[in-house]
Structure 1
């Protein structure tokens, strides 16, 4: 049975980490650039009380940018992946409940958001996209080691047990 080498897995992980970073940096930057539209997108889901709309609309792009920067640097990779997975599950649930309730909204995931005309929703595509991003987060939860990551510089991989035993002798 073919088993990829650690170097191949580390390289794949690097592309996964950078892909997730790109998602969060793009999404967060677009939302931060248009806070009024982000507010309308959050409000359109009709799940939060009015008192939470502004705090969530303000915090969401900042959280996404923080996740993006940490993922880009490869710092706290597993933690970033766990928070990413939680956030993506919340997004999937949000879109799903909107679809189930018959709301006609744009998810606002990458800008825009709010009410749209009937037939303009893209719920299946939005859910599929977020599931794809969730797979990326899942990879990094399972295997956070990647190339060119601050994590690797802070905590270098231990040598194999057999090597350690021969060093002691």
Structure 2
């Protein structure tokens, strides 16, 4: 049962990162506008973050989709989500009116059109999925499990043949 929950968490988080990264990558100019709207980075770093963020999100999504280095990917995802939540919270605290740009778009919006509580709650939910995977990275349909079985690690999910005598 726990491996099923983990698998759903892993695949759900993979979908989040793949969609988010693809939407940002499809419109790099808008991604830069979204990064600039937070008004926390020096200009040179804004460009680096706008280029790197979608690529990091896509790599995280691919690792999680494949179930490869799941604990590592979950740790990076959790760290990134904490940074994103902090960015949204500081924007809210400073009275900025921005769309977070989490799934493309982003930038300045009219006063009263922000959705900071919903964005923080949503990202906190994603962070809980990442935390689950950090604590319990074993999931079904994962390269981690396949590689572990290849090394003879019986702690990974899969059929339990321990009660079957060889040769029978």
Q: TM over 0.5, yes or no?
A: yes
String of CA shifts for 1:118-150, please: whole Å, max 9, x gaps: 000000000000000000001000000000000
Count of aligned pairs: 156
Structure 1 residue runs without a partner (length 5+) = 1-7, 164-169
- SS at 1:58 equivalent: helix
Q: CA deviation at 1:158?
A: 2.6
Superposition misfits of 4+ residues, deviation over 2 angstroms:
156-159
String of CA shifts for 1:5-37, please: whole Å, max 9, x gaps: xxx111111111000000000000000000000
The 5 A counterparts of 1:117-132 are 117-132=110-125
Matched, 1:48 2:44: no
Question: C-alpha distance in 1, partners of 2:138/2:23?
Answer: 29
Question: C-alpha distance in 2, partners of 1:51/1:34?
Answer: 19
Q: 2:61 aligns with which of 49, 57, 68?
A: 68
Computed over aligned residues only, the root mean square deviation of the Cα atoms, in angstroms, reads: 1.7
More helix by share: 1
Question: C-alpha distance in 2, partners of 1:99/1:75?
Answer: 36
TM-score when normalising by structure 1: 0.89
Match of residue 91 from structure 1: 84
Question: C-alpha distance in 1, partners of 2:44/2:21?
Answer: 22
Match of residue 154 from structure 2: 158
